[in-house]
Structure 1
Amino acid sequence: MDSRVEHHVKHVEHGFGPVWDGTSRVLVLGSMPSPKSREESFYYMHPRNRFWPVMEAIFTDPANPTDVAGDTPQSRRGFALRHHVALWDVIASCDIMGASDASIRNAVPNDPAPILATAPITRIVTTGAKAAQLYRRLIAPTLAADGIDVPMTPLPSTSPANASMSLDHLIAVYREAFIPYLP
């Protein structure tokens, strides 16, 4: 790595645990929480990340005005669990520059096996190319060795860095991936 960049790379720990319960059907795995998400100790908390608007577009019951993700960790946790969505990340710790997935080095994976052994997860989705790449390299072989076979679907990133994909397109892609695997 370029020495001018190295001093901006930090070793970071994930800092908070997964969101799931005994009714979770789809496990969403990002790469590593952004600095804003680590600060808030919850998933997809950067105000320009489109994850929660996508989730609301897919799952909100229009007949229930209280069925919204909101903007707090507590309201978002409740929304995810009500809709049988589990949240975590592929990486437990790594060296990273800001929120740049491209800069991730020395990744240490999380272990989703306890969740997969307990909850009726029928699909894993990864958000972003780096999460999919690291999942395939660091987690899938271990799960396979343990006899755990849950299909994984890579999805595009909802990060503001993925500006080439419109919100409507993200909603369509995520809807197609989620809906067949939910009750």
Structure 2
Amino acid sequence: MTDNNYMTIVHPLEPCFTKESKILILGSFPSVKTREYGFFYGHPQNRFWRVMEVLFKEDLDNGIATRKDFLSRHKIALYDSIYQCDIVGSSDASIKNAQPSDLSRIIKGADIKEVFLNGATSYKYYKKYHEKDLGLEGVKLPSTSPANARYSLDDLVNEWRVILKYLDLF
């Protein structure tokens, strides 16, 4: 991988939360497909939305408004650990010169009880940049990315079930 393949990208999405949000789920950085789609977990093979459908027993269409409504109803905030970085395509492994996201707006504007990290890269940057300021240890969950082929959908659902206890649904 040469430096010529790197692009400096600034996070194009606004954090998604309401004042009732109880949990914050952080990814690492939006993929190329997510940036094109214009909302979190926009890659058709990313299993985030499928995991949510199974956990909450709902069918969601691909519409951004539908997904925002789902998050609001279930008191889930979404954003990413990294605000800007140099990256090759969508490869978390290629990330360098990462600058952290400002999570203060979410923390001040919502009632966040726990932070969940979607994958090892998000967890790494959360620990490095956010944990101390937020005072929440954060819970690492397996990545829903299509690159994480080690986990089946059932495996992901079983691991991600932990979020329910923070939403009074467990």
Same fold at TM > 0.5: yes
CA RMSD of aligned residues (A): 1.2
Q: Which residue of 2 aligns with 1:182?
A: 167
Confirm or deny that 1:121 pairs with 2:119: no
Larger radius of gyration: 1
Identity %: 40
Match of 2:15 among 13, 18, 27: 18
With normalisation by structure 1, the TM-score equals: 0.88
Letter of the aligned partner of 1:101 in structure 2? Answer: D
Task: Tell me the amino acid that sits aligned with residue 50 of structure 1.
Answer: R
Q: For structure 2, which runs of at least 5 residues remain unmatched after alignment?
A: none
Assess if the C-alpha contact under 8 Å between 2:86 and 2:96 holds in 1: yes
AA at the equivalent of 1:90: S
How many residue pairs get aligned? The number is: 168
Q: Deviations over 1:64-97 (max 9, x none)?
A: xxx4332121111111111111000011110001
| Cα separation, 2, equivalents of 1:59 and 1:120 | 21
* Contact map agreement 2:25 2:76 (CA 8 A) in 1: yes
Correspondence 1:92-107 to 2 at 5 A: 92-107=83-98
Contact kept in structure 2, 1:121 and 1:150, CA below 8 Å:
no
| Whole-angstrom distance in 2 between the partners of 1:47 and 1:117 | 32
Amino acid at match of 2:163: F
Q: Are 1:88 and 2:70 matched, yes or no? A: no
Structure 1: 5+ residue runs without aligned partners?
Answer: 61-66
Contact 1:68 1:79 in 2 (8 A): no
User: What letter matches 2:116 in structure 1?
Assistant: V
Q: Would you say the 8 A contact 1:69–1:76 is kept in 2?
A: yes
Q: Please list the CA deviations of residues 51-75 of structure 1 after superposition, one character each: whole Å capped at 9, or x if unmatched.
A: 0000111113xxxxxx433212111
How far apart are the structure 1 equivalents of 2:35 and 2:109? 26
Q: Distance in 2 between matches of 1:12 and 1:44?
A: 17
Mapped pair 1:169 → 2:155 = yes
Is residue 15 of structure 2 the alignment partner of residue 30 of structure 1? Answer: no
Q: Which amino acid aligns with 2:60?
A: A
Provide TM-score, normalisation by structure 2.
0.94
How many Å apart are 1:114 and its aligned residue?
Answer: 2.3
CA contact 1:92–1:107 (8 Å) conserved in 2: yes
